Amino acid sequence: MAQNNSSNYNTQTNGVIALINASEPLRETLQQFDFGGRQLRQFSNGVDLINRWEKEQIDVRAVIVQGEVMDTFGIAMIQTLRSKNFPDVPFVLIATNVTANILQLALSAGIADVYKQPLNKTHFQRRITFLIDNWVELHGHTNKQEFKAYKTPLGKRLFDVFFAGLALVMLSPVFLIVILALKLESRGPVFYYSPRVGTGYRVFKFYKFRSMYVNADKKLKDLKHLNQYTAAAATTANTTGDLCDECRISGTKCQFPLYADNNKWCEKQYLYSKKSQSGSAFIKLKNDPRITKVGKILRNTSIDELPQLWNVIIGDMSIVGNRPLPLYEAEKLTTDKYALRFLAPAGITGLWQVEKRGKGEMSEDERLMLDNTYAKNHSLWNDIRLILKTVPALFQKENV
């Protein structure tokens, strides 16, 4: 195992390889590797590494992290290290979700390499040693595209602050009425916040008026069978025998057969079943029993969203953007197909709310497609257009 005496590491002529967020099996595996005499040293996260690097003057030659490209241990961490003037050394990621597009994004952000387990001992130790020994030449001549996380343009930021500040002043009487109504109906705080994932998978506190009874989140696991998105997926996946709906329309013969040994099944049915088992990314309950009477009014009129104006003021969100998601939803959207939505601003209202609000037939894929569309085409003028469309969309019966 790696030694814990910091003085030993300060005297290592070959330097130290910082190991961050590594599981016990991974640590044991890497301890068996030879990285040219360099010592492995474990750190819990980037902040821990920076603090101990500054305090102990550790000679860090490389950083190996266990995490995902789009979570706090990936691109976000390398950006944090850069902002703290940490030495420019190879940053290697050991991840679970590695696809062609995500790998390209990682390399563009300055991550030197991404690996999946199990690691090939010979290849991995040779690669890390090569990167360390030749980093100056490699990094100096690498024509890499600099990855830049979304940063709100000045014009949009000024618009957000002005619009949100003006709205808070004008709506202050509404705030007072809502606070009084919530206090009279049920016990608990007036304001509520939950961790949400916004731009670049950054997690922040998302504020709302409380519209549910206290401890409503703890009851969610018992109500997932009421999820409308799951029900829609189950309807889509309806099959008869070994045929999917599309096969039955075409006739009695499967149009998409798969074969393995002596078995045969329908490819479309298999994909439907796999999707159904993995669960929906979004959760939406019809007639949610956790919602209070006042909360139902607040949701139907979207008044419960007003405290998010404070999120806009402090820079967590914009007026217009893709909705920030709860952690359990965002963790399912790290694939090539949907990661794009997190490269756009997070907002109070956006394209899918305006285009599809109140339409019961809206599917999960349709919503995510609209999020990606906004991410590709957002601009200040498009935002203003969406704001003008939002007002008539607010007062509709169906909660979104």
Q: List the beta strands (DSSP E) in 129-252.
A: 191-197, 203-209, 239-240, 243-244
244 has pLDDT over 60: no
241 has pLDDT over 50: no
Do you find a cis peptide bond into 118, omega within 30 degrees of 0? yes
Q: For residue 60, what are the β-bridge partners? A: 16
CB 153 within 8 A of CB 380: yes
pLDDT of residue 334: 67
pLDDT of residue 223: 52
Question: Architecture of domain 6-141 in CATH?
Answer: 3-Layer(aba) Sandwich (3.40)
pLDDT of residue 371: 85
Does residue 204 sit in helix, strand or coil?
Answer: strand
pLDDT in tens, 173-203: 999 999 999 999 888 889 988 889 888 888 8
Q: How does 310-328 read in b/e, with b if 16+ C-beta sit within 10 Å?
A: bbbeeebbbbbbbbbbbee
Kindly state the DSSP code that residue 255 receives in the 8-state scheme: S
Minimal CA–CA distance to 291: which of 212, 358, 361, 397?
A: 212
Q: What is the DSSP string of 38-49?
A: PEEEEESSHHHH
More confident of the two residues 232 and 14: 14
* Measured distance CA(258)–CA(270) in Å, rounded: 9
Least confident of 56-65, 188-197, 343-352, 361-370: 361-370
Q: Cα–Cα distances in Å, from 19 out to 64, 92, 95, 298?
A: 5, 10, 14, 48
- With bands split at pLDDT 50, 70 and 90, how would you rate the model's confidence at 13? low
Q: For residue 243, what are the β-bridge partners? A: 240
Give CATH 3.40.50.2300 domain extents, the chain. 6-141
Q: How does 39-78 read in b/e, with b if 16+ C-beta sit within 10 Å?
A: bbbbbeebeebbebbeeeebbbbbbbbbbbbbbbbbbbbb
Q: How deeply is 128 buried, as exposed, middle or buried, from its count of CB atoms within 10 A (0-12, 13-18, 19+)? A: buried
Q: List the beta strands (DSSP E) in 210-247.
A: 239-240, 243-244
What average pLDDT score do residues 203-218 get? 78
CB 36 within 8 A of CB 14: yes
Q: Compute, in degrees rounded to 10, the torsion defined by CA atoms 133, 134, 139, 140.
A: 130
